[in-house]
Amino acid sequence: MKTELVSSPLSSPLSSLAVELLAVAVTDFQTEKGPDAKLQLALLNADAAVASAAAEVLASGEFKAGANETLVLHAPAGLAAKRLLLVGLGKAAKLSIHGLRSAAGTAVRAAKPRGLREVAFALPEHESLPAFAAARAVAEGALLADFDADTYRSDRKDQGVYSFKLAVPASVDFASAQAGFAEGEIVAEAQNFARVQVNEPGNVLTPTVLGQRAAQMAESVGLKWEVHSTEKLHELQMGAFWGVAKGSEEPPALIVLTYEPEGYDPATYTGPVLGLVGKGITFDSGGISIKPGDGMEKMKYDMAGSAAMLGAICAIGQLKPSVKVICVVCSTENMPDGRAYKPGDVLTAMPAGDKPGKTIEIINTDAEGRLVLADGLTYARSLGATHLINAATLTGAVGVALGKVNGGVFSNDDETFAKFQAALETSGESFWRLPLGDEYAYLIKSDIADIKNTGGRYGGASTAAEFLHVFAGDTPWIHLDIAGMAWIDESRPYIAKGPSGIAVRSVLEWVRSYQS
């Protein structure tokens, strides 16, 4: 999609934009209080011709301006646009940047099935929608909405929007809008990069291919990179990671991407080093503890945590925060080969400094993600990470607890978590903090080894988090369990069903919160 900003001062009003679809946001507001209260609709744009074209339908009550509600007016009088799309933002009292992101996506999704290739979106004029944040949200919403998951259909119809214009009214600071829009493009494209990887079938996106794509991305945005395989796992004594990997014909990939801020000198740098760690299981059969066949095809998305971290560092490389970042991805398949690890086995994780690696009793081979992350967290710490964040489609239990409404977040440090919670205000993503504690840690104590890889049926998200906590140690750490949020089962007005790219924006904003 080609994206651009256009200004609409009085000499070139919004009504003069000759596009196939012009989208304008509408909200409702209460005119009075009490029993006589009435709702009245308002266009969030001062263009007189647009107001005139929409006046009759707004007065009719046919359109309620509910969030992401749409109505198309054909050949609107007085406008150069062929169609006028009204997009609801909901109640004026609840206007938000995140609602605007969805509205922009709704406009693009409305255009696609109609075969419309040109969309212009009028940036709303409202004090609660500042120019930079509003323009960034519109760019994000539009680009995320243009993605569809039907990549491999031989009869795939081209429904892409070729041109998306953001019309900036004269009352809005154009320079701020321009900066916000440019940032939104970077963030959305990084999230779409993650979605593309998650969407790929397991026979295409093997661990080796994921490593190749990560390296190509790193080259394109100026990151340092290394991609290792079996020999490196043995050298580092990554017994937990290798225990999972050895059951597959596909070799594993240990992917390390590094971002260094401008002027970085290891001898003088005193800032934090942020470690991003992602679970990269490119296909999860469950191993010897094999999954039921129903729904197993979706287990290609078990690498969504790694995709989120790759997407985040892709944006980091372009937005250039003043903090060092290391991204570690542990990628393999989990398969039931004759060499596969088995229930009852004991694996030895990577040593941590001068301490021997933790021993792990295997209860269920379908609890493999925490094993690869164990070595990934230890390795990130060995590379100098002072703060850690990991993402993984780790447990079905988190979906039972939170549904497909929130991702789960765990942390061993309140200050670190507070930074993540503040990051959500910008990212617009939904996460809910879940508990850690000695009671959960007790459930993963093993009779034969240091710990076991599952803690029973109850509290599964928290016992899995406590397993990772062992390997994060005292390092300030956040664990994102995105199993319930990584895949959208049904299309929404503003985004297609399929991979969501969840956590890219939140991890990015958490990293930026550490800028000096």
Same domain, 217 and 272: yes
Same domain, 382 and 493: yes
Say which of 82, 232, 246, 291 is annotated catalytic.
291
Q: Which residues pair with 328 in a beta bridge?
A: 256, 277
Q: CATH number, domain at 124?
A: 3.40.220.10
* pLDDT tens per residue across span 190-239: 999 999 999 999 999 999 999 999 999 999 999 999 999 999 999 999 99
Is there a domain that residue 183 lies in?
no
Which residue segment(s) compose the domain that 94 sits in?
A: 2-169
Question: How far is 485 from 460, CA to CA, in rounded Å?
Answer: 17
Give the pLDDT band of residue 3 (cuts 50, 70, 90). confident
Give the pLDDT band of residue 321 (cuts 50, 70, 90). very high
Token code pair at residue 168: 């900036």
Same domain, 123 and 242: no
Same domain, 135 and 209: no
* Residue 6: predicted pLDDT: 75
* pLDDT tens per residue across span 346-366: 999 999 999 999 999 999 999
* Residue 9: predicted pLDDT: 47
Say if residue 243's pLDDT is above 70.
Answer: yes
* pLDDT tens per residue across span 173-195: 999 999 999 999 999 999 999 99
Is there a domain that residue 44 lies in?
yes
Question: How far is 230 from 259, CA to CA, in rounded Å?
Answer: 25
Question: How far is 97 from 129, CA to CA, in rounded Å?
Answer: 6
Count of residues in the chain: 516
Average the pLDDT over 271-286 and give the result.
98
* pLDDT tens per residue across span 61-80: 899 999 999 999 999 999 99
* Residue 500: predicted pLDDT: 98
Quick check: 22 and 84 in contact, CB under 8 A? yes
Quote the percentage of the chain above a pLDDT of 90. 90
Give the pLDDT band of residue 157 (cuts 50, 70, 90). confident
Is there a domain that residue 184 lies in?
no
Same domain, 84 and 231: no
* Residue 39: predicted pLDDT: 56
For this structure, is 370 an active site residue? yes
Say which of 165, 195, 370, 381 is annotated catalytic.
370
Same domain, 229 and 363: yes
- Within 8 A by CB and 6+ apart from 104, the residues are 23, 121, 137, 138, 139, 140, 141, 142, 145, 494
Query: Considering only CA atoms, which of 24, 19, 119 is closest in space to residue 70?
Result: 24
Residue where a domain stops, chosen among 137, 169, 201: 169
Same domain, 117 and 216: no
Same domain, 366 and 430: yes
Of 154-158, 170-174, 238-242, highest mean pLDDT = 238-242
* Residue 366: predicted pLDDT: 98
204-237: b or e for each residue (b if 16 or more CB lie within 10 Å)?
ebbbbbbbebbbebbeebebebebbbbebbeebb
Q: Which residues pair with 256 in a beta bridge?
A: 226, 328
User: What's the CA angle centered on 60, arms 73 and 120, to 5 degrees?
Assistant: 30
Average the pLDDT over 134-153 and give the result.
96
Is there a domain that residue 177 lies in?
no
Is there a domain that residue 305 lies in?
yes
Residue where a domain stops, chosen among 169, 204, 231: 169
Same domain, 306 and 401: yes
Is there a domain that residue 180 lies in?
no
Same domain, 485 and 387: yes
Residue where a domain stops, chosen among 134, 169, 204: 169
Token code pair at residue 338: 């004759």
Quote the percentage of the chain above a pLDDT of 70. 97
Question: How far is 7 from 456, CA to CA, in rounded Å?
Answer: 59
* pLDDT tens per residue across span 16-61: 999 999 999 999 876 555 555 555 788 898 889 999 999 999 999 8
- Within 8 A by CB and 6+ apart from 330, the residues are 241, 252, 254, 255, 277, 278, 279, 280, 306, 372, 373, 375, 376
Is there a domain that residue 175 lies in?
no
Question: How far is 247 from 477, CA to CA, in rounded Å?
Answer: 30
| Mean pLDDT (the chain, rounded) | 95
Quick check: 224 and 260 in contact, CB under 8 A? yes
Same domain, 154 and 199: no
Q: Where are the alpha helices (DSSP H) in 346-429?
A: 369-382, 396-402, 414-427
Q: CATH number, domain at 423?
A: 3.40.630.10
Average the pLDDT over 380-391 and give the result.
98
Give the pLDDT band of residue 145 (cuts 50, 70, 90). very high
Domain count, the chain: 2
* pLDDT tens per residue across span 461-487: 999 999 999 999 999 999 999 999 999
* Residue 10: predicted pLDDT: 41
For this structure, is 433 an active site residue? no
Residue type, 407: G
Residue type, 260: E
Is there a domain that residue 353 lies in?
yes
Give the pLDDT band of residue 1 (cuts 50, 70, 90). confident
Same domain, 85 and 146: yes
Sign of the Cα torsion 479, 202, 371, 327 reads negative
* Residue 7: predicted pLDDT: 65
* Residue 72: predicted pLDDT: 98
Quick check: 107 and 142 in contact, CB under 8 A? yes
